[in-house]
Amino acid sequence: YQVSSDNIKNHRNDTGSSFKSKTYIRITDDEEEPARQVQRSSHVKFSSVLKDGASIALPLAFTVFVVVLWRLNGSPSGDSLEKLREDAIRYLASTFPILFAGITGKLMSEIVRWKLERGATVGFLEQLNGSQTVGSTVMTLFSFGSVNLLSILLLLTWAFSPLGTQGLLRMESRRNEPRVKDTTITYFDDDARSRLVKWQELFSTGSFGPTPGMRSLTSLYATLVTTPEATKFDTMDLWGNVRIPFLNHTENQWRDLPSNSSEIEYSSLAGIPISNLDIGNTTFTVESSYLDLHCHNATVLTGNQAPEGFFAHLDHSMMDTAASSAEDLKDKIFRMPNGTWHGYNFTNGDATTWSLALDRFVDPIWLLRNRTTTRKLESDNRSAERERPILFRNETGIDVGPTTLLFEAHAVSAITDKQLREHNHVKATFGVTQKSVESRVACRLAAADNTKPSCRVISQRPSQRRHAPEGITHLSFPKVFNLLSQRLPLVVGGSVNYQADFSLYYLQDPTLREMQSDERAFMKSYTAETLEVRLAQLLNTFLAVSQLSFEIAGRGSAQRKDSANVVSRSNETVPAELRELVVVIQISDVWAAVCLSSGVVLLAAGVMGVVFKHRARGPEIFGYISTMFRDSKYFDLPPKADLLDGGDLSKTLRELQIRYGNVGSKDGEPVTGVVPLGDTEMDHLN
Residue 489's pLDDT band (cuts 50, 70, 90): very high
- Integer angstrom CA distances of residue 504 from 188, 342, 420, 457, 513: 29, 21, 18, 28, 12
Residue 2's pLDDT band (cuts 50, 70, 90): very low
Q: Identify the residue with better confidence: 685 or 402.
A: 402
- Residue 496's pLDDT is 87
Alpha carbons within 13 A on the beta-carbon side of 225:
32
Position 419 pLDDT exceeds 80: no
Scanning 130-174, the segments in alpha helix (DSSP H) are: 134-144, 149-170
Contacts of 102 (CB under 8 A, 6+ apart): none
Note the pTM of the prediction, 2 decimals: 0.68
Q: What is the mean pLDDT of residues 556-560?
A: 52
For 229-266, write each residue's pLDDT tens digit.
999 999 999 999 999 999 998 899 999 999 998 899 99
Report percent pLDDT > 70 for the chain: 80
The 10 Å Cβ neighbour count of residue 21 is 12
Residue 140's pLDDT band (cuts 50, 70, 90): confident
Q: What is the mean pLDDT of residues 339-361?
A: 81
Residues in the chain, total: 686
For 310-331, write each residue's pLDDT tens digit.
888 777 666 665 545 455 555 6
- Residue 65's pLDDT is 94
- Integer angstrom CA distances of residue 645 from 113, 194, 608, 613, 627: 12, 98, 19, 11, 9
CA angle (201 as vertex; 267, 368 as ends), nearest 5: 90
Residue 555's pLDDT band (cuts 50, 70, 90): low
For 574-624, write each residue's pLDDT tens digit.
999 998 878 889 999 999 999 999 999 999 999 998 898 888 777 777 777
- Residue 169's pLDDT is 92
Radius of gyration, CA atoms only, the chain: 49
Q: Identify the residue with better confidence: 629 or 409.
A: 409
Q: What is the mean pLDDT of residues 459-465?
A: 95
Burial of 101 (0-12, 13-18, 19+ CB in 10 A): middle
Report percent pLDDT > 90 for the chain: 35
Q: Which of 420-429, 442-451, 546-555 has the highest mean pLDDT?
A: 420-429
Candidate from 505-519, 592-606, 665-679 with smallest mean pLDDT: 665-679
Residue 44's pLDDT band (cuts 50, 70, 90): low
The residue among 644, 649, 654 whose CA lies nearest residue 43 is: 644
Residue 34's pLDDT band (cuts 50, 70, 90): low
In angstroms, the CA 289 to CA 437 distance is: 6
Q: What is the mean pLDDT of residues 669-686?
A: 63
- Residue 450's pLDDT is 57
Position 358 pLDDT exceeds 50: yes
Helix/strand/coil for 301? strand
Mean pLDDT in the chain? 81
Q: Identify the residue with better confidence: 640 or 260.
A: 260
